[in-house]
Amino acid sequence: MMKNTINDKANLIWEVATKLVGVYKPHEYGKVILPMTVLKRFDDILQPTKEKVLEAYEEYKKFEVKEHFLIEASGYNFYNTSKYDFEKLLADPDNIESNFKNYLNGFSDNVIDILNNFKFENEVKTMAENRLLYVVLEEFNSKKAYMGLDEVKTEDMGYIFEELVRKFSESYDEEAGAHFTARDIIYLMTDLLIAEERDVLINENKVKTIYDMAMGTSQMLACMTDRLKQLNKDAIVDCYGQELNPETYAIAKADMLIKGGDAENFKQGDTLDDDKFKGYEFDYIISNPPFGIDWKKQKKAIENEVSKGDKGRFPVGTPKISDGQMLFTLNGIAKLKDNGRMAIIQNGSPLFSGQAGSGESEIRKYIIENDWLEAIIQLPTDLFYNTGISTYIWLINKHKNVMREGKVQLIDASNCYENRRKNIGNKRKDISEECKNLILKAYDDFQNTEYSENGKSVESKIFNNFDFGFNRITIESPLEDEDGNIIKDKKKIKKADSRKRDYENIPLLEDIKQYFKREVLPYNEKAWIDERKTVVGYEIPFTRYFYKYVEPEDSDVIEERIRKNEKDIMSSLEKLFKEDK
Q: What is the pLDDT along the chain (581 residues), one digit of tens a residue?
A: 555 677 788 888 888 989 999 999 988 898 999 999 999 999 999 999 999 999 999 999 888 888 999 999 999 989 999 999 999 999 999 999 999 999 999 999 999 999 999 999 999 999 999 999 999 999 999 988 999 988 888 878 877 887 787 777 666 544 444 556 888 999 999 999 999 888 777 777 678 999 999 998 898 999 999 999 988 888 889 999 999 989 889 989 988 888 878 899 999 999 999 999 999 999 999 999 998 889 999 999 999 999 999 999 999 999 999 999 999 999 999 999 999 999 999 999 999 999 999 999 999 999 999 999 999 999 999 998 778 889 999 999 999 999 999 999 999 999 999 999 888 778 899 999 999 999 999 999 999 999 999 999 999 999 999 999 999 999 998 887 666 676 655 555 554 455 678 899 999 999 999 999 999 999 988 899 999 999 999 999 999 999 887 777 777 778 788 888 888 888 877 776 666 55
- Region class of 75: left (phi > 0), else alpha (psi between -120 and 50), else beta: left
Q: What is the pLDDT of residue 188?
A: 97
Q: What is the CATH number of domain 179-406?
A: 3.40.50.150
Long-range contacts, 142-149 (Cβ 8 Å, 24+): 144/12, 145/12, 145/13, 145/16, 145/40, 146/44, 147/37, 147/40, 147/41, 147/44, 147/45, 148/44, 148/45, 148/47, 149/44, 149/45
Say how many C-beta atoms besides its own lie within 10 A of residue 79's C-beta.
27
What angle, 0 to 180 degrees and rounded to 10, lies between the N-to-C axes of helices 154-172 and 219-231? 150
Task: Fill in the amino acid letter for 146.
Answer: Y
Measured between its terminal Cα atoms, the distance across the chain in Å is 67
* CA 356 vs CA 303, 365, 407, 502, 533: distances in Å: 21, 10, 21, 14, 11
DSSP secondary structure letter of residue 176? G
Q: What are phi and psi of 384, to 5 degrees?
A: -105, 155
Collect all residues with Cβ–Cβ distance below 8 Å to 196 and sequence separation of at least 6.
401
Decide if 114 contacts 254 (C-beta within 8 A): yes
For residue 238, the cross-strand partners are 209
Domain boundaries, the chain: 3-152, 179-406, 469-543, 554-581
Instruction: Report how far residue 57's alpha carbon sits from residue 70's, in angstroms, rounded to the nearest whole number.
Output: 7
Indicate the Cα dihedral angle 363, 365, 369, 373, nearest 10°. Answer: 60
Q: What is the pLDDT of residue 477?
A: 87
Decide if 338 contacts 398 (C-beta within 8 A): yes
Decide if 418 contacts 435 (C-beta within 8 A): yes
Decide if 233 contacts 204 (C-beta within 8 A): no
Task: Fill in the amino acid letter for 86.
Answer: F
- Region class of 155: left (phi > 0), else alpha (psi between -120 and 50), else beta: alpha
Q: Is 548 exposed, middle or buried (0-12, 13-18, 19+ CB in 10 A)?
A: exposed
Decide if 389 contacts 381 (C-beta within 8 A): yes
Collect all residues with Cβ–Cβ distance below 8 Å to 312 and sequence separation of at least 6.
305, 306, 334
Strand spans (E) along 392-455: 392-397, 407-412, 418-424, 427-430, 449-453
Instruction: Report how far residue 88's alpha carbon sits from residue 95's, in angstroms, rounded to the nearest whole number.
Output: 11
- Which helix (H) or strand (E) element contains residue 462? strand 456-464
Decide if 216 contacts 248 (C-beta within 8 A): yes
Question: pLDDT by residue (tens digit) across 134-179?
Answer: 999 999 999 889 999 888 888 788 778 877 877 776 665 444 445 5
Collect all residues with Cβ–Cβ distance below 8 Å to 197 and sequence separation of at least 6.
none
Decide if 327 contacts 295 (C-beta within 8 A): yes
Q: What is the pLDDT of residue 550?
A: 73
